[in-house]
């Protein structure tokens, strides 16, 4: 177990990077606390896997340093860093039995056989493959194979950190829940530092204490699930977290008054931002109230998703999503108001506030 520091890490896959777009990973400077459970969330190609491989040592960063518990490990190999990593697609050793597959990382490190047996039996129990321990791993289904990959990541008890690279992609939804809660339990029990890469927000929000949202090679926000939901620092976070994502509307801001293409709104604070910045107002669909008073909207579609209804409407010539309770009425001449506390203002896509 270790505290992991990323000290101004940058990475480019091509040689001689000059401009920012050459970097798949733009400047990442961050500390992962010992024993923390982190989710690394972001769309495909945003640099999540690159960052993970840099931590595990499969990749050497172009610039910057990595420290484990204050010790520089940038030039150490994966073995020397003592990291466990689980990959997106199952990697199993075909010719070995399920048992030997799980024992492999331990035996390579010359762990005594009695200890190997104890650990492997425990992991077999956890992933529910005890009855297949003596079978060759070759004939298993994709999700059983992935469970073995997962098990190999968890079998070592002395690792600095366990990294998961979208490990549940090939697992069916029900099993996902089971495995995820087992991972959480393991985390509580042993206090591993865990970094979990995913592009699935539900997975990120349920697994982690802290979610790190990445976008285009940068970390855009680090926060608890609630922070990400209520105060997205970047319009991307607003859009990416939540279903449907945050409504982002172009807005002209003058002092504490906002002009949304003809509709004016008073804010409780006066946002500060550089002159000439592109300003936008963000409001989550959950905090838009539909009623008989306020600003007029034109409803185009109502989606019933069970306990809630999502109203798709047009407001100030922009599409807007509104979440309404399943019993909520939709008036004939619909109007909306925004919950003042839930309004976020963005300048050039970054959140600006009065309180900050």
Binding site for another protein (CB under 8 A): 53, 56-58, 77-79, 83-85, 87-89, 91, 93-96, 104-105, 108-109, 136, 138, 149, 152-153
CB of 240 to another protein, least distance (A): 26
Judged by beta carbon, residue 57 or residue 223, the one nearer another protein is 57
Q: Is 192 helix (H, G, I), strand (E, B) or coil?
A: coil
Judged by beta carbon, residue 75 or residue 79, the one nearer another protein is 79
CA distance 253 to 277: 10
- Closest CA relative to residue 144, chosen from 161, 132, 156, 159: 132
The answer to whether 90 touches 148, Cβ cutoff 8 Å, is: yes
CA distance 237 to 212: 10
Q: How far is CA 174 from CA 121, 127, 202, 206, in A?
A: 24, 14, 14, 14
Q: Is 261 helix (H, G, I), strand (E, B) or coil?
A: coil
CB of 58 to another protein, least distance (A): 5
Judged by beta carbon, residue 12 or residue 219, the one nearer another protein is 12
Q: Is 235 helix (H, G, I), strand (E, B) or coil?
A: helix
Judged by beta carbon, residue 5 or residue 53, the one nearer another protein is 53
Please compute, for residue 136, the number of CA atoms within 13 A of its CA located in the half-sphere on the CB side.
4
The answer to whether 39 touches 225, Cβ cutoff 8 Å, is: no
Q: CB count, 10 Å around CB of 56? A: 20
Q: Which residues pair with 31 in a beta bridge?
A: 5
Judged by beta carbon, residue 85 or residue 201, the one nearer another protein is 85
Judged by beta carbon, residue 83 or residue 288, the one nearer another protein is 83
DSSP assignment, residue 44?
A: T
Judged by beta carbon, residue 78 or residue 121, the one nearer another protein is 78
CA distance 211 to 228: 8
CB of 152 to another protein, least distance (A): 6
Describe the strand order of the beta sheet including 247-250 as a list of residue ranges.
247-250, 279-283, 344-347, 350-352
Judged by beta carbon, residue 144 or residue 201, the one nearer another protein is 144
The answer to whether 260 touches 251, Cβ cutoff 8 Å, is: yes
CB of 72 to another protein, least distance (A): 20
CB of 85 to another protein, least distance (A): 5
DSSP assignment, residue 38?
A: E
CB of 228 to another protein, least distance (A): 30
CB of 251 to another protein, least distance (A): 46
Judged by beta carbon, residue 95 or residue 317, the one nearer another protein is 95
The answer to whether 92 touches 137, Cβ cutoff 8 Å, is: yes
The answer to whether 134 touches 56, Cβ cutoff 8 Å, is: no
């Amino acid at each position: 177990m270790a505290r992991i520091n990323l000290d101004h890490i940058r990475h480019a896959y091509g040689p001689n990077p000059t401009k920012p777009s050459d970097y798949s990973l733009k400047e990442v400077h961050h500390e992962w606390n010992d024993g923390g459970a982190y989710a690394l969330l972001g769309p495909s190609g945003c640099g999540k896997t690159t960052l993970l491989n840099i931590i595990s040592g499969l990749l050497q960063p172009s610039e910057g340093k990595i420290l484990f518990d204050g010790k520089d490990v940038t030039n150490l190999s994966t073995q020397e860093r003592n990291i466990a990593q689980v990959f997106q697609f199952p990697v199993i050793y075909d010719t070995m039995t399920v048992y030997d597959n799980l024992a492999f990382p331990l035996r390579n490190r010359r762990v005594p056989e009695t200890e190997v047996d104890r650990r492997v039996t425990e992991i077999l129990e956890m992933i529910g493959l005890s009855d297949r321990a003596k079978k060759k791993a070759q004939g298993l289904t994709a999700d059983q194979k992935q469970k073995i990959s997962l098990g190999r990541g968890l079998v070592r008890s002395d690792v600095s950190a366990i990294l998961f690279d979208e490990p549940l992609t090939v697992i069916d939804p029900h099993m996902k829940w089971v495995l995820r809660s087992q991972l959480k339990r393991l985390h509580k029990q042993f206090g591993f530092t865990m970094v979990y890469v995913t592009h699935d927000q539900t997975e990120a929000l349920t697994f982690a204490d802290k979610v790190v949202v990445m976008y285009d090679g940068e970390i855009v926000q680090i926060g608890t699930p609630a922070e990400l939901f209520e105060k997205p620092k970047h319009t991307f976070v607003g859009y990416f977290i939540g279903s449907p994502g945050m409504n982002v509307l172009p807005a002209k801001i003058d002092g504490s008054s906002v002009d949304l293409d003809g509709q004016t709104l008073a804010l409780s604070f006066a946002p500060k931002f550089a002159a000439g910045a592109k300003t936008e107002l963000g409001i989550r669909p959950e905090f838009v109230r539909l009623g008989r008073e306020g600003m007029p909207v034109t409803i185009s579609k109502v989606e019933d998703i069970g306990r809630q209804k999502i109203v798709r409407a047009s407001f100030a010539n922009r599409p807007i999503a509104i979440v309404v309770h399943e019993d909520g009425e939709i008036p004939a001449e619909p109007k909306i108001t925004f919950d003042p506390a839930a309004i976020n203002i963005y300048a050039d896509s970054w959140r600006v506030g009065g309180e900050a």
